[in-house]
Amino acid sequence: MKSFLLWLFAVIITLSAAWYQRITGPTYPKRIMVNVENQEYKIQLKRSEGEKDCAIELPVVFKDKVKLYYKRYKIDEPYMPVDFIESGKESIIAYLPQQPPAGKLQYYIIFKDGLDENKINGLQDVVIRFKGDVPAWALIPHIIFIFFAMLLSNLTGLMAIFTKKSLKKYIYITFILLLAGGMIMGPVVQKFAFGEFWTGVPFGWDLTDNKTLIAFVFWLIALIGNFKKPRPFLIILASIMTIVIFSIPHSMFGSELNYETGVVTQG
């Protein structure tokens, strides 16, 4: 019964952290509600796209009421207007032009409600980042390994608190999953997406790479520290650090193309 409860709590903690990380990240679509003719419509404004023009889609009820404006991120230049066109019977679409990997655009949508004109997305522009397409053979193992590394990290930490059994096997599995998902497949995904294998310390300040490195170091310490005799406090510390850093929103302070210099920077 205790084992079942520990697994249950580990799953709940892992899923909660993964959900929180996903919905708070800067690449998660911006969700807003807009009232048209006394009816509320839920709209998603994209903040991430691959190697193609980005389609911004709205319900057809917005036809002739909206126009999209965009410009390159952090560049002093005029906004370019883009009209929405019909896409089938239920939606209209406007396209943001494809950018190089790590290139960003900022955009907003003007909504005409009678004589009034307002930004659908409020006072702040929506910022979208483009990236290279990552093949499934690289992305899927990366996601699976990282997810199970988080799960085993949480489980091993809970077991270190509530049981007295040997945890060497769990430490090894957690470390191997983190090594495979974060330190091997992570750089592969980064290379496809933004052209560099590693943009964390000592080469850059990419937060995703750096937090992966921190988790890896703490589990390496836990592995070495428990090699000859049990030191549960090292396991608990590694587990806590892992859940804290992996709860940080995904892709914060990530790769960004400087349009003026042509250099991709992080941090």
Domain 46-130 has CATH 2.60.40.10: yes
Q: Are 141 and 181 in contact (CB under 8 A)?
A: yes
Q: Write the pLDDT tens digit of every residue in 209-261.
A: 888 999 999 999 999 999 889 999 999 999 999 998 888 877 666 788 899 88
Q: Write the pLDDT tens digit of every residue in 44-72.
A: 999 999 999 999 999 988 888 899 999 99
The reported pTM is: 0.86
Confidence of residue 157 (pLDDT cuts 50, 70, 90): very high
Confidence of residue 170 (pLDDT cuts 50, 70, 90): very high
Q: Write the pLDDT tens digit of every residue in 74-112.
A: 999 999 999 999 987 789 999 999 999 999 999 999 988
Neighbouring C-beta atoms of residue 234, cutoff 10 Å? 19
Q: What are phi and psi of 33, to 5 degrees?
A: -115, 135
Q: Are 52 and 98 in contact (CB under 8 A)?
A: yes
Placement of tokens 């992996």 in the chain: 246
Provide the residue ranges of all domains of the chain, joining segments of one domain with +. 2-24+134-265, 46-130
